[in-house]
């Protein structure tokens, strides 16, 4: 006896027509023709059922603030940082909470139930930290939220940057952040990496740094981050976010760097939407793409997952909380358009990012949390292509969001009357 059975599910690994039995908050059975009854049955009609999406890199304290107090005119990363600096003194806990809750609503509707957000610790008021700690607690029934102490204006470069980060961790922030390429000098950047890894080791916390988010091939803080990871015994607990300078580095140097990163078991978190938007801005033509070397890093066995990074904030005026939009862009920017490539990209939005975040009981195995999303698509390829409607989203075995399927009614003689969102007209009546 189950509480809920999802019948006729296609799974991301390619299995089709599978039944998923859910008991309480957990997956209790995954098999074809599952016998038994349930209080509720959902027929997935051979649609894709995936573990819920995971965003390993976001800025929830900045989201939905677009236009406050003004727009980013140049559209650049540096004007974005300056603009955030203008907005920061105007931030209130109430407004931060309201915007974050609104974003979480958007995320849930799209099956995004696990988010790691960087929280700016540059303002010694730490109103951002207070607000995000409140949000973490309030959304806990439906979203796993991890908080990174993020010294946006530089750990050393901002006045009180060192003390503020320490206080944020004391208040209960989960992860140590950093931004070495934004410190005053390369050397200060390297020193900040060492200091922040030491704090993480002392406190037993993970590390997730904005690292080398620049087109400068000489920005090599990832090398220091990997080395300090090994030295402080933090293997597997450290993430390098962005790593865009790797795009521009000399190939010989990278041939030494990637094995070092693999030794340190660095979690690599590119942000395709933001990287393609903000990098290469100083180039005329040829113009660099500025996303890190995804294919090569995956081939070397590194855990690569993709972040959304921004939605309607000083850095990025677009975005929708849809991780499939992130995957769609990743396919293009990384030029990973092959069949196996795309499957890897889907994994990078789900299982890889769950691993980066250290999520427990994530996935589709028996015993995992029943955190699931049913998509209006047959398989992962169609999902990545169409960014389809999330028909139902389950959290711990309960449906928490539904969206009506997208159906087009055609009024053209001699053509079908109904197109199921145009996904695969030959496969459905
Ligand atoms: Zn970021």
* pLDDT of residue 377 exceeding 80: yes
Could you tell me which of 248, 272, 265, 245 has the C-alpha nearest to residue 335? 272
At 13, the pLDDT band (50, 70, 90 cuts) reads: very high
> What CA–CA distance (Å, rounded) separates 328 from 247?
19
| pLDDT of the residue at 103 | 98
Instruction: State what percent of residues in the chain have pLDDT above 90.
Output: 95
C-beta of residue 183 within 8 angstroms of C-beta of residue 152: no
Report the distance separating Cα 140 and Cα 218, nearest Å. Answer: 41
Q: Are 356 and 303 in contact (CB under 8 A)?
A: yes
**CA angle (37, 39, 41) in 5-degree steps:** 75
User: Which pLDDT score, from 0 to 100, does residue 424 have?
Assistant: 58
The tens digit of pLDDT for each residue in 313-335 reads 999 999 999 999 999 999 999 99
Task: Give tens-digit pLDDT for 386-429.
Answer: 999 999 999 999 999 999 999 999 999 999 898 886 555 455 44
CA 271 to ligand 1 center in whole angstroms: 8
Q: What separation in Å is there between the alpha carbon of 204 and the centre of ligand 1?
A: 23
Average model confidence (pLDDT) for the chain? 96
Cβ proximity of 112 and 373 under 8 Å: no
- Residue 46 CB-density burial (10 A; 0-12 exposed, 13-18 middle, 19+ buried): middle
pTM: 0.97
Distance 77 CA to ligand 1 centre (A): 11
Least confident piece of the model among 74-83, 137-146, 151-160, 196-205: 74-83
For ion ligand 1, residues whose CB falls within 5 Å? 309
| Distance in Å, CA 14 to ligand 1 centroid | 33
Task: Tell me how far apart the terminal alpha carbons of the chain are, to the nearest angstrom.
Answer: 33
Q: How far is the CA of 315 from the centre of ligand 1 (A)?
A: 9
| H runs (alpha helix) in 110-185 | 127-139, 161-171
Query: pLDDT band at residue 78, thresholds of 50, 70 and 90?
Result: confident
Residue 22 has pLDDT above 60, yes or no: yes
Distance 309 CA to ligand 1 centre (A): 5
How far apart are the CA of 245 and the centre of ligand 1, in A? 15
Is omega for the bond preceding 286 within 30 degrees of 0, making it cis? yes
Q: Which residue has the tokens 């990997």?
A: 226
Q: Which amino acids are annotated catalytic?
A: 213
Q: Answer yes or no: are the C-beta atoms of 31 and 20 closer than 8 Å.
A: no
pLDDT digits (tens, 9 = 90+) for 95-129: 999 999 999 999 999 999 999 999 999 999 999 99
179-189 residue pLDDT tens: 999 999 999 99
């Amino acid at each position: 006896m189950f509480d809920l059975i999802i019948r006729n599910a296609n799974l991301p690994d390619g299995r089709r027509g599978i039944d998923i039995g859910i008991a309480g908050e957990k997956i209790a059975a995954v098999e074809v023709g599952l016998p038994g009854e349930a209080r509720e049955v959902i027929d997935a009609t051979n649609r894709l059922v995936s573990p819920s999406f995971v965003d390993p890199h976001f800025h929830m304290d900045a989201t939905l603030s677009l236009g406050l107090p003004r727009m980013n005119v140049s559209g650049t990363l540096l004007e974005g940082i300056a603009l955030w600096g203008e907005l920061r003194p105007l931030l209130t806990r109430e407004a931060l909470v309201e915007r974050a809750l609104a974003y979480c609503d958007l995320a849930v509707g799209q099956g995004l139930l696990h988010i790691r957000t960087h929280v700016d610790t540059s303002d010694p008021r730490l109103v951002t930290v207070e607000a995000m700690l409140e949000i973490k607690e309030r959304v806990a029934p439906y979203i796993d939220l991890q908080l990174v102490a993020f010294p946006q204006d530089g750990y050393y470069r901002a006045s009180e940057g060192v003390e503020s980060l320490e206080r944020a961790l004391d208040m209960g922030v989960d992860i140590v952040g950093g931004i070495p390429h934004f410190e005053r000098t390369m050397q200060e950047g390297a020193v900040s990496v060492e200091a922040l890894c030491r704090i993480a080791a002392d406190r037993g916390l993970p590390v997730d740094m904005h690292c080398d988010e620049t087109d400068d091939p000489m920005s090599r803080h990832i090398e220091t981050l990997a080395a300090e990871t090994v030295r402080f015994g933090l293997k597997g607990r450290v993430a390098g976010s962005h790593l865009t300078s790797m795009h521009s580095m000399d190939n010989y140097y990278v041939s030494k760097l990637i094995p070092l990163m693999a030794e340190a078991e660095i979690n690599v978190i590119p942000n395709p939407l933001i990287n393609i938007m903000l990098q290469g801005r100083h180039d005329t033509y040829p113009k660099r793409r500025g996303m890190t070397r995804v294919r090569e890093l995956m081939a070397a066995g590194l855990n690569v997952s993709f972040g959304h990074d921004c939605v309607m904030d000083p850095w990025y005026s677009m975005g929708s909380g849809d991780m499939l939009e992130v995957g769609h862009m990743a396919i293009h920017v990384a030029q990973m358009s092959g069949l196996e490539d795309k499957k890897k990209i889907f994994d990078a939005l789900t299982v890889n990012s769950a691993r980066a975040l250290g999520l427990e009981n994530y996935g589709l195995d028996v015993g995992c949390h029943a955190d699931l999303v049913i998509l209006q698509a047959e398989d992962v390829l169609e999902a990545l292509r169409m960014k389809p409607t999330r028909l139902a989203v389950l959290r711990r075995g309960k449906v928490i969001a539904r969206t009506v399927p997208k159906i087009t009614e055609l009024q053209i003689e001699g053509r079908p009357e109904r197109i199921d969102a145009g996904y695969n007209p030959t496969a459905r009546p």
